[in-house]
């Protein structure tokens, strides 16, 4: 059983497809592992009855016996982030207001995961409404870090990241508005990818800033799950217009020397603009050696655009987005049960007028054009994936970073904001460990639409560093 859960997704798929292990054996191994490891970190929540998961696994085995070709996730136990509706499973969004809500239907992402052969067994923990890069809520409690359960797993895809690092899931889905795929990846020594905006479809006619994306322990597995998630759908009129999912099933391997001369801009703390905890930048800079070994040139450089304007523009978009919960806020009874940060977001959004939104849209366009020009001079951008190391699990958010007061509950994650606002692809990748043995990561950022090229460089970096393979959580060794 320990061997089964230690396999990456590619190894697991091959073992299932070759009938070396059955889907039932895979399910039994994962459920047993979750039962032992899960209570330490509270990452996988809302599990359905084991007999249901095993029955569905038997159905996957029967498909193979009938000679049906296995999908890319065939027989994989999968837990969906608890912001996403899945039929028959809790759908709380981490809010006490939805404590007893159960999904009535599958969201598009869940449909695609199931169609790829996965068995959805439960949910992964997330902060209330996905707000904040710290996974805690009144429904499920706080998610602990894979490398030190007394510390935070990050967020908002914190449960997904900790579950991956501790081998409780082969791959995991997440979503990212303000680093929610990148920050937990950094905090748990795994990979999290925010795809180009529109690659993974979202419903509606407004190009808001959030997107779903994959998390995994390897870049090949990241691409495998992205191949399932990506591609247009009739429910998402603004999604990328051509079928692209199958592209990510291609090999990520490149010939030796393929990246020689690749230009990478390191933004760091934007010339001191971003507050950072001592040691963070040093760990991130240590990643340069791997890129340089591949033949890349890493240069300290930043786009010619005021970071203060990026932040102001981002806040307007985010306040506007959070007005979707205005009905909860308007009722004093439900407002009193919402986390203070959710109330703050809505109260900042209520005074916005049409001119504020129009100005934020124009500023977003100007920033995108500035970054596009910058990426004519550089092939990729490298930035810290967080500004602090994983902090105490009981702390809601850091109020001081590097001696500076944080003026909002999420200011300590500003490093992810420029790339979110531009809608470009970004992969959170392990960069190493700080003095206390806590993980830290970097973001590798590419041009819009160049997701496959970004994955290929990330894959080469992974081969050069091997952080996930080299440093396993101590909890795995003790259990």
- Identify the CA nearest to 197 among candidates 364, 357, 72: 364
In the annotation, is 286 catalytic? no
Q: Given strand 439-445, what is the order of strands in its sheet? A: 172-176, 211-216, 191-194, 426-433, 439-445, 380-384, 263-266, 297-300
Q: Which of 81, 114, 123, 339 is flagged as catalytic?
A: 81
- How far is it between the farthest Cα atoms of the chain? 63
How many Å apart are CA 442 and CA 446, to the nearest integer?
Answer: 13
Q: Which H or E run includes 173?
A: strand 172-176
In the annotation, is 22 catalytic? no
Tokens coding 92: 């709380």
Query: Which neighbouring-strand residues pair with 215?
Result: 172, 192
DSSP H helices, 236-339, are 280-285, 288-293, 307-322, 326-330, 332-335
3-state secondary structure of 404: strand
In the annotation, is 81 catalytic? yes
DSSP string, 14-25: HHHHTTSS-HHH
Q: What is the dihedral of CA 9, 246, 424, 216, to 10 degrees?
A: 0
Q: Which of 22, 156, 196, 287 is flagged as catalytic?
A: 156
Q: Which of 157, 180, 227, 287 is flagged as catalytic?
A: 180
Residues with catalytic roles: 81, 156, 180
């Amino acid at each position: 059983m320990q061997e089964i859960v230690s396999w990456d997704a590619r190894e697991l798929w091959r073992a299932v497809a070759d009938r070396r292990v059955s889907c039932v054996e895979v399910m039994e191994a994962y459920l047993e592992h979750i039962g032992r490891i899960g209570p330490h970190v509270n990452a996988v929540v809302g599990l359905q009855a084991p007999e249901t998961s095993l029955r569905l696994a038997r159905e996957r085995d029967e498909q193979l016996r009938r000679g049906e070709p296995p999908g890319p996730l065939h027989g994989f136990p999968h837990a969906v982030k608890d912001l996403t509706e899945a039929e028959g499973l809790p759908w709380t969004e981490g809010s006490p207001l939805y404590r007893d809500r159960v999904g009535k239907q599958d969201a598009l992402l869940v449909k695609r995961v199931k169609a790829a052969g996965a068995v959805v067994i439960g949910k992964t923990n997330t902060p209330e409404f996905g707000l904040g890069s710290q996974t805690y809520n009144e429904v499920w409690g706080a998610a602990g870090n894979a490398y030190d359960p007394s510390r935070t797993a990050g967020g908002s895809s914190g449960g997904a990241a900790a579950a991956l690092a501790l081998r409780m899931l082969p791959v995991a889905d997440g979503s990212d508005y303000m680093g929610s795929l990148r920050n937990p990846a950094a905090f748990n020594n795994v990979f999290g990818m925010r795809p180009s905006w529109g690659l993974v479809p979202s419903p509606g006619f407004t190009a808001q800033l959030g997107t779903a994306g994959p998390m995994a322990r390897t870049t090949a597995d990241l691409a495998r799950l992205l191949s399932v998630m990506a591609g247009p759908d009739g429910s998402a009129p603004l999604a990328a217009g051509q079928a692209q999912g199958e592209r990510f099933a291609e090999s990520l391997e490149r010939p030796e020397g393929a990246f020689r001369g690749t230009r990478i801009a390191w933004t760091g703390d934007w010339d001191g603009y971003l507050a950072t905890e001592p040691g963070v930048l040093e760990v991130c800079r240590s990643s340069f050696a791997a890129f340089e070994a591949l033949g890349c040139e890493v240069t300290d450089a930043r786009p010619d655009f005021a970071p203060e304007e990026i932040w102001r523009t981002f806040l307007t978009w985010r306040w506007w987005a959070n007005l979707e919960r205005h009905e909860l806020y308007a009722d004093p009874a439900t407002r009193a049960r919402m986390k203070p940060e959710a109330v703050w977001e809505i109260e900042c959004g209520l005074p916005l007028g049409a001119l504020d939104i129009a100005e934020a849209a124009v500023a977003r366009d100007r920033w995108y054009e500035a970054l596009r020009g910058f990426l004519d001079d550089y092939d990729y951008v490298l930035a810290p994936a967080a500004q602090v190391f994983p902090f105490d699990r009981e702390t809601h958010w850091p109020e001081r970073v590097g001696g500076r007061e944080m003026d909002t509950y999420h200011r300590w994650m500003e490093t992810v904001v420029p790339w979110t606002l531009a809608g470009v692809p970004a992969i959170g990748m392990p960069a190493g460990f700080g003095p206390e043995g806590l993980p830290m990561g970097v973001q590798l950022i590419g041009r819009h639409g160049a997701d496959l090229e970004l994955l290929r460089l990330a894959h080469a970096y992974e081969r050069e560093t091997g952080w996930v393979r080299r440093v396993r959580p101590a909890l795995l060794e003790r259990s």
